[in-house]
Structure 1
């Protein structure tokens, strides 16, 4: 059971709250409609329930508030607007990435794709999906964790009648398995025809909480629906008799041979047709207009059957639908959600599921090979600069820039195309997710750095000859410096984008190292009072006491020489500062909530 108690949003700019002291229940085994006109507070109410909006009140999902639920996607399935995700990601890639975030096997993604009728569209990119396929994908994402409760914000908006019927059949099947369904709508006819209970809002306040039949009887305009081959003649007859009897009757001609008669009943219309010899093919009382028939209500589970504690199975669905092409308004306050249950698997799916990753790597390889050939032609550049494609005018080599850009994308895309949060809220800042991003970024940077050097060396030997391009004797030290640079740039991109919530900020953090910090470090380290780090291993050995092998001594000395370079010092300080800022902003956000 869903219980909303005293939900009140925080007012803004001296305006009344969008939701004011809202309390209601949505029982398991039923479909509940949250009805209200635009601006009545429906979406804000859902966001308050999901703790995505600042305010007061609490919502219990089977007796527990959302922040007390260990794995919210396994208890509550949410669809707020379009499916959050990178538009270039394929449908299958999106679902598998969400499976990794929820700790589910990838087979669950394929199962739900078939369940919602998207089989055959697995390789389509999210940005090219038709309207209905987007809604189906959103429902598949909401059902991914087999939740007990579904919260949907106007799921049928923009859908045709057959598509809307498919959607409500799916929701009805979920409720029939014991689940709880709550969806918002602006259409009273939709609420009367497809819900078991209707909760009506006006100005953020509760107006009525009624059974759907009672709602239709008391709040919707009744009418008589007539089908006859002589619709125009019957309309004239009914209107003429109503005038003679001084009754207020309105006759509306609809498609083809159909009439809607307001202010009368079946007996009066039938008697009028009989007296004038007008044949009738259909005669029925309705409330709520088209599709709002209430007299033939579906049999629903009794409310006294008790609350079901078994998560609902995924309901079947078939048919085709189209996409709602608008974004929902977002609230200012956002609560951080939990990290992916499988952060490493999630990060790998996120990285490999978009075309930007291979494009950036290919561009870095191509530019580096081109620069290496141009630098090698003159014969004046140093061999390390030639092998890395690093001209003196460039602040960083292409491989380091590419690694930094990919690192910046790792957090930048989380904020631009959020997939970890149900309401496009703040990206999780748990250590597991950060470590996964740093680890994957380091592996990608190492691979890119090695590929660039190998490609540059191969191209140089092919063009200029192998005897003119020897392998340097100090290649271990050069390799360590080179790989440390690309990994450091990748990490700077990850942390910069994580702190400032944008990929551009991550790239700026990468470029700030050679442009601003390296010249500063060169001035500081060139001062007369600076003590050399060359003898640090010996001093450490004397201080620590135990002796280590000469080989380890040489490796430690080499590593310290690399780190002691101005670029190494600047990069180390930058990473340390960004990491501290990342931790500080995460703690401050927790304190705010």
Structure 2
């Protein structure tokens, strides 16, 4: 049982709330249609039920509110709007990434592609999908964790008759297996054909909650559709005969020589046309709505406001009570954050393109710098020109780190609908860990590519190994990893990739010069003997090479750039945590 109690959205400015004290339920084994005209609050209702919209009220999914369900994806599958995914990601990559987020095996992605009829197109990009295929992929995403309930916002909008029929067959199959289906629509005939239960809303309030038979009887009425080149003449004679027989018949003239006759039947209209010699091109029985003014207003046959139809169970009526304020909590992080982040990184062409651009730029710069013969070897191997604040590897690591959070905000896949990206420690640690690996890989690849290219172009004897190579290696790896972290945290705080790149470039451009001026006085005590003193303090023995590496790391950290990078990362991390806490307090 899905029970929505007292849903009320927060009013915005001087306008009334889009949803006001809305209470209804959707039962397992049935398809429930949430019917209302455009602007009636249907989409806001779904977002309130999913705790994506601030407001009051609560929704129980089999007796539990959503924020008390350990794994919401296994309880409710959602389709709100288009599929929220990176347009360059393939359908299989998108589903495999969501498999990691929901904690199901990756093989489930191919199973769902087969279930929704997309078996032969797993490698098609999301951005190239037509409307029908996007709907199918959205349903595959919603069904990925085999949820009990499905919440769908206008799932048939823009689909052909064939695709709409397939969609409702799938929803019907889910309901027959014991699941609960709730979908929104603005078409009364669609609700009458495909739903078992119809909840009618208008202006954010409940108008009626009925079984489909009662809905069709009380909210819809039958009519005879007639198409004739003599529409005006036929309308006149039908009206005259109805008056003579004292029958209540309403004739409505529509476009295209078409009449809608209410209160009669095909046989009577056909006989009238035959007697008066009127040519008829079409004559059929239809079910037409009573019009927007009547359909979405209260009627005597149905209760108004928080009431329900007579078929409502006593157990459902027992929970109709004043609703407390909804307790909002941030959306859960992916159940397997590290696996999710790896699939997110490798599932788009941006990652290999950035890595290739970094390698090409580094090789070209190193070859150009080596021509004068006076450039230091570390600068050659890093491909770091004097005019650039950072080498290509550091910029590329920072850019990929910035994309890790920027893509979450631009193409949100972790949240139901277009909500906020989860501020969870597990997701942050996974992104920082993957960014570390990306930075290390880029740093090693750049050095190897530059070294081999220089040896090929100028000969191996011109590239000696520096004596202080441990310090240089620590400095190089620390720089790339630090830039990757700065990109991650900068984009996480400011929600755009440009902010992450700006956080990376701010270290050498702004912070490092300021620290260099502040520390330009006489040097302090040397730290060269610190590794030996640490070894004696902890009473542990380690190789002599470890002393050189530790000394190199300490010297890197003591440099203005190292201090500036550490301060920048600390400030960004504090800002990230602060914004997450403030969001929790606001909700």
1:584 aligns with 2:586: no
TM-score by length of structure 1 reads 0.87
Partner of 1:444: 438
CA distance in 2 between counterparts of 1:357 and 1:281 reads 60
| SS of the residue 1:378 aligns to | coil
Partner of 1:410: 404
CA distance in 1 between counterparts of 2:280 and 2:351 reads 69
Cα drift, residue 131 of structure 1: 1.0
Where in structure 2 are the equivalents of 1:229-248 lying within 5 Å? 231-232=228-229, 236-237=233-234, 239-246=236-243, 248=249
Where in structure 2 are the equivalents of 1:423-438 lying within 5 Å? 423-438=417-432
The question of whether the paired residues in 2 share the 8 Å contact of 1:216 and 1:287 is answered with no
Structure 1, residues 396-442: CA drift from partner, whole Å, max 9, x if none? 00010000000110111111111000122111121211111111111
Identify unmatched segments of 5+ residues in structure 2: 291-310, 317-326
CA distance in 1 between counterparts of 2:286 and 2:390 reads 76
| SS of the residue 2:400 aligns to | helix
TM-score by length of structure 2 reads 0.88
1:569 aligns with 2:563: yes
| SS of the residue 1:198 aligns to | strand
CA distance in 1 between counterparts of 2:558 and 2:256 reads 83
CA distance in 1 between counterparts of 2:70 and 2:207 reads 34
Moved more, 218-227 or 508-517: 218-227
Partner of 1:286: 287
| SS of the residue 1:341 aligns to | coil
Cα drift, residue 528 of structure 1: 2.5
Distance change in 2, residues 1:74/1:452 (3 Å): same
CA distance in 1 between counterparts of 2:553 and 2:286 reads 86
Partner of 1:97: 97
CA distance in 1 between counterparts of 2:359 and 2:539 reads 47
Partner of 2:381: 387
1:558 aligns with 2:552: yes
Moved more, 258-267 or 563-572: 258-267
Cα drift, residue 57 of structure 1: 0.4
Partner of 2:319: none
The question of whether the paired residues in 2 share the 8 Å contact of 1:22 and 1:204 is answered with yes
The question of whether the paired residues in 2 share the 8 Å contact of 1:404 and 1:510 is answered with yes
Partner of 2:306: none
Partner of 1:460: 454
Moved more, 383-392 or 265-274: 265-274
- How many residue pairs match? The answer is 552
Cα drift, residue 242 of structure 1: 2.3
The question of whether the paired residues in 2 share the 8 Å contact of 1:52 and 1:335 is answered with no
The question of whether the paired residues in 1 share the 8 Å contact of 2:472 and 2:552 is answered with no
Where in structure 2 are the equivalents of 1:491-502 lying within 5 Å? 491-502=485-496
Q: Alignment RMSD, CA only?
A: 2.7
Distance change in 2, residues 1:285/1:391 (3 Å): closer
Cα drift, residue 244 of structure 1: 4.0
Partner of 1:44: 44
Where in structure 2 are the equivalents of 1:95-494 lying within 5 Å? 95-225=95-225, 231-232=228-229, 236-237=233-234, 239-246=236-243, 248-250=249-251, 260-266=260-266, 268-269=268-269, 271-272=271-272, 284=285, 286-288=287-289, 336-494=330-488
Identify unmatched segments of 5+ residues in structure 1: 290-301, 308-332
Partner of 1:312: none
Moved more, 191-200 or 82-91: 191-200
Partner of 2:22: 22
| SS of the residue 2:152 aligns to | strand
Cα drift, residue 238 of structure 1: 6.2
The question of whether the paired residues in 1 share the 8 Å contact of 2:67 and 2:328 is answered with no
Distance change in 2, residues 1:548/1:473 (3 Å): closer
Cα drift, residue 234 of structure 1: 9.3
CA distance in 2 between counterparts of 1:181 and 1:118 reads 22
1:516 to 506, 510, 513: 510
Partner of 1:329: none
Cα drift, residue 241 of structure 1: 3.6
CA distance in 1 between counterparts of 2:527 and 2:116 reads 63
Cα drift, residue 468 of structure 1: 1.6
Distance change in 2, residues 1:448/1:552 (3 Å): closer
The question of whether the paired residues in 2 share the 8 Å contact of 1:221 and 1:287 is answered with yes
Partner of 2:299: none
Structure 1, residues 351-388: CA drift from partner, whole Å, max 9, x if none? 01111100100001111111101100011211111111
| SS of the residue 2:240 aligns to | helix
Distance change in 2, residues 1:545/1:471 (3 Å): closer
CA distance in 1 between counterparts of 2:281 and 2:373 reads 97
| SS of the residue 1:151 aligns to | strand
Cα drift, residue 529 of structure 1: 6.6
Moved more, 533-542 or 565-574: 533-542
Distance change in 2, residues 1:449/1:240 (3 Å): same
Distance change in 2, residues 1:17/1:280 (3 Å): closer
CA distance in 1 between counterparts of 2:287 and 2:482 reads 70
Cα drift, residue 341 of structure 1: 0.9
